[in-house]
Amino acid sequence: MTTEEIKHRIESAVPGSQAHVLDPMNDGAHLQAFVISPAFEGMPVFKQQQMVMASIKDVFQVVHALGLKTFTPAKWDEAKSQYGL
């Protein structure tokens, strides 16, 4: 599964989301995802991440690791410069 396919699945499952899925090692197995959604407002981080992971759980037959960070739009505005996206 490509990073674009993973991005599409996340954005389809998480309301109003924008996802950035990266493959920094270019191996297709160690990915990073940044997911921004207003649906995360008032939700604990572990619940935000559960919502994202539920949409891609079958991907882990191929993907070895996923570094996942979730943000509300306001938090993303504060943090995005750290990630160069």
Q: What is the pLDDT along the chain (85 residues), one digit of tens a residue?
A: 799 999 999 999 999 999 999 999 998 888 999 999 999 999 999 999 999 999 998 877 767 788 899 999 999 999 999 988 8
| pLDDT on residue 1 | 79
C-alpha angle 53-20-29 in degrees, rounded to nearest 5: 60
Beta bridge partners of 36: 18, 71
Taken in order of first residue, the domains within the chain and their CATH numbers are 3-82 (3.30.300.90)
| pLDDT on residue 41 | 97
| pLDDT on residue 28 | 86
Beta bridge partners of 74: none
